[in-house]
Copies of this chain bind each other. A is one copy, B any other.
Amino acid sequence: MKSRQLTDLGQQLRVDSVRAAAAAGSGHPTSSMSAADLMAVLLAHHLRYDFDRPAHPGNDRFVLSKGHASPLLYATYKAAGAINETELMTFRKLGSRLEGHPTPRRLPWVETATGSLGQGLPVGVGIALSGKRLDRVGYRVWVLCGDSEMAEGSVWEAAEHAGHEHLDNLTAIVDVNRLGQRGPTRHGHSLDAYARRFQAFGWHTIEVDGHDVDAVDRAYGEAVSTIGQPTAIIARTLKGKGVEAAQDREGLHGKPLPDPDEAIAELGGIRDIRVEVQPPPAARMLHAVRAGHLELPRFELGDRVATRDAFGQALAALGAARGDVVALDGEVSDSTRSEFFAKEHPDRFFECYIAEQQLVAAAVGLAARGWVPYASTFAAFFTRAHDFIRMASISGSGINLVGSHAGVAIGQDGPSQMGLEDLAMFRALQDSTVLYPCDANQTAHLVAAMAGCEGIRYLRTSRGASPVIYGPNEDFPIGGSKVLRVSAQDRLTIVAAGVTVNEALAAADLLDREGIPVQVIDLYSVKPVDRGTLRDAAEHTGCLLTVEDHREEGGLGDAVLDAFLDGRPTPRLVRLAVRTMPGSASPEEQLHAAGIDRESIAVSAKLLVDQAVVR
Contact = CB atoms under 8 A, between A and B. Distances in A.
Nearest to A351: B182
B416 A116 contact: yes
A568 interface: yes
B414 A353 contact: no
A565 interface: yes
Interface of A: 24-27, 67, 91-96, 98-101, 103, 105-106, 113-118, 148-149, 151-157, 160, 164, 180-182, 185-186, 196-197, 199-201, 329, 331-335, 339, 351, 353-358, 380-381, 383-384, 386-387, 390-391, 394, 396, 411-417, 420-421, 424-425, 427-430, 527, 543, 551-555, 557-558, 561-562, 564-575, 580-581, 583-586, 589, 593, 607-608, 611, 613
B572 A416 contact: no
Contacts of A115: 413-417
Contacts of A564: 570, 573
B567 A611 contact: yes
Nearest to A567: B574
Given A95-B583, A96-B584, A380-B390, A429 B551 contact: yes
Contacts of A386: 383-384, 386-387, 421, 425
A354 B384 contact: no
Contacts of A152: 153, 157, 354-356, 384
A147 to B, nearest CB: 10
Q: What 5 A-B pairs have minimum CB-CB distances, sorted nearest first? A: A153-B153, A115-B416, A200-B200, A554-B554, A570-B570
6 contacts: A92-B584, A148-B354, A152-B384, A181-B335, A182-B339, A386-B425
A153 B151 contact: no
Contacts of A381: 116, 387
B421 A584 contact: no
Contact of A387 (B24, B181, B384, B558): B384
A567 B572 contact: yes
A334 B180 CA distance: 11
Nearest to A115: B416
Contacts of A561: 558, 561
A391 to B, nearest CB: 6
A185 B334 CA distance: 14
A99 B414 contact: yes
A508 B384 CA distance: 42
Given A200-B199, A381-B387, A543 B567 contact: yes
A68 to B, nearest CB: 8
A199 B103 CA distance: 37
A201 B411 CA distance: 39
> Which of A67, A358, A583 has most B Cβ within 10 Å?
A583
Contacts of A586: 94
A451 to B, nearest CB: 22
Contacts of A196: 199-200
Contact of A394 (B411, B415, B424, B543): B415
A353 B180 contact: yes
B148 A182 contact: no
B151 A182 contact: no
Contacts of A114: 416
Given A115-B414, A416-B114, A416-B391, A331 B570 contact: no
B558 A566 contact: no
A160 B181 contact: no
Nearest to A195: B200
A357 B387 CA distance: 11
Nearest to A590: B94
Contact of A417 (B98, B101, B157, B611): B101
